[in-house]
Amino acid sequence: MRWRLAMVTGASRGIGLEFARELARVGTRVILVSNEPEELERVAAELPGEPEVLAADLGDAAQLERAEARLLDRADPVDLLVNNAAAVRTGPFVDADVESQADMIRVNALAVCRLTSAAVRSMQADGGTICNVSLLLHRSPMPQNAVYFATKSFIANFTLAVRQELEDTPVSLTLVCPGFTATGAHVDADYDTSWIPGWLWSKPETVAQAALRHAAAGRAVSLPDRKYAALGALINLMPQPLVTLSGRMSVGGHPQFFRSLRPGQRFGRTPSEDPEAPSR
């Protein structure tokens, strides 16, 4: 790994935590970003080197600006940005609280756009890498989870488009597309995973390690392992109507597939009672 200083959002748990651990292990200094200050301090205490803690809710404009300002600090420049933080609300869109949906868009789409912009401006002189975390199924509209999947689709299209714009510059973007990943967040979201076969699950450290290898190699897209590489290739060959149908079947075939979150809860932001439970 060639990076000197990395910013990782959503670093207090799950895939973001594993990005931070792996980067610190290979000697990259890490800026940990999350809206969980106590968890960040715990993570910082366990990591080697001198990790920096930046407690910020990226759905809040003023706090997002602090993260942007850190990326633009040329005195101590960041050469790797990992946009991993995410918020999710499940349940029928027509019943959803409008502000909760707007918050999801702010965290999952607007923050990714603004932090990517700040990172690109900072990295254009000396080069750098940006990893934006989406989903394997970002092409699949998902009933009962409409806005969340729409934001992940945004991340995918945005990342690949900006990558093309910057292909003649020293800045590289990699789209990270995990599948079902055992982080505990599905439990937080009250998400029924009983129908998912065990072989489909990936470990969060597998996702992070693969993403960093692929980003270092300059790949456009990172899939965590061979099974998901094969599934990704298959999905890319599927016509959009079939991809759309797969999303509808996933929900329609399992009435309890999604259940509404408790008021105010965000994906990966409330500690799970079972931290080893499978999650995306």
Q: Residue ranges per domain, the chain?
A: 5-252
CA–CA dist 219, 178 (Å, integer): 15
Tokens for 41?
Answer: 């301090």
Average pLDDT over residues 74-103: 91
Residues 6+ apart with CB under 8 A from 255: none
pLDDT in tens, 208-224: 999 999 999 999 999 98
- The rounded mean pLDDT for the chain is 81
Closest CA to 52 of 65, 70, 35: 70
pLDDT at 277 over 60: no
% residues pLDDT > 70 (the chain): 70
For the chain, what percentages of helix, strand and coil (3-state, to nearest 5) are there?
A: 45, 15, 40
2 pLDDT tier (thresholds 50, 70, 90): confident
Closest CA to 25 of 9, 42, 10, 6: 6
CA geometry: angle at 182 spanning 12 and 263, to 5°? 60
Catalytic residue among 19, 148, 154, 180: 148
The CATH classification number of 5-252 equals 3.40.50.720
CA–CA dist 8, 236 (Å, integer): 28
Residues 6+ apart with CB under 8 A from 16: 8, 9, 10, 34, 82, 84, 85
Helices 111-123 and 61-71: crossing angle, nearest 10°?
20
Radius of gyration of the chain (CA): 18
Average pLDDT over residues 112-132: 97
Average pLDDT over residues 121-144: 85
| Predicted pLDDT of residue 224 | 84
The per-residue b/e assignment along 197-215, b for 16 or more CB within 10 angstroms, e otherwise, is eeeebbebbbbbbbbbebb
What's the predicted TM-score (pTM) here? Answer: 0.82
Closest CA to 89 of 155, 38, 142: 142
228 counts as catalytic:
no
Counting DSSP H helices and E strands in the chain, the numbers are 10, 7
| Residue reference for tokens 């599934």 | 231
E-strand spans in 195-253?
221-222
DSSP codes joined into one string, 191-216: ---TTS-GGG-B-HHHHHHHHHHHHH
Bigger pLDDT: 182 or 167? Answer: 167
Average pLDDT over residues 232-248: 58
CA–CA dist 12, 205 (Å, integer): 14
Residue 169: phi and psi, rounded to 5, are: -120, 170
Helices 204-216 and 14-25: crossing angle, nearest 10°?
50
| Predicted pLDDT of residue 278 | 36
Helix (H) or strand (E) segment spanning residue 115 = helix 111-123
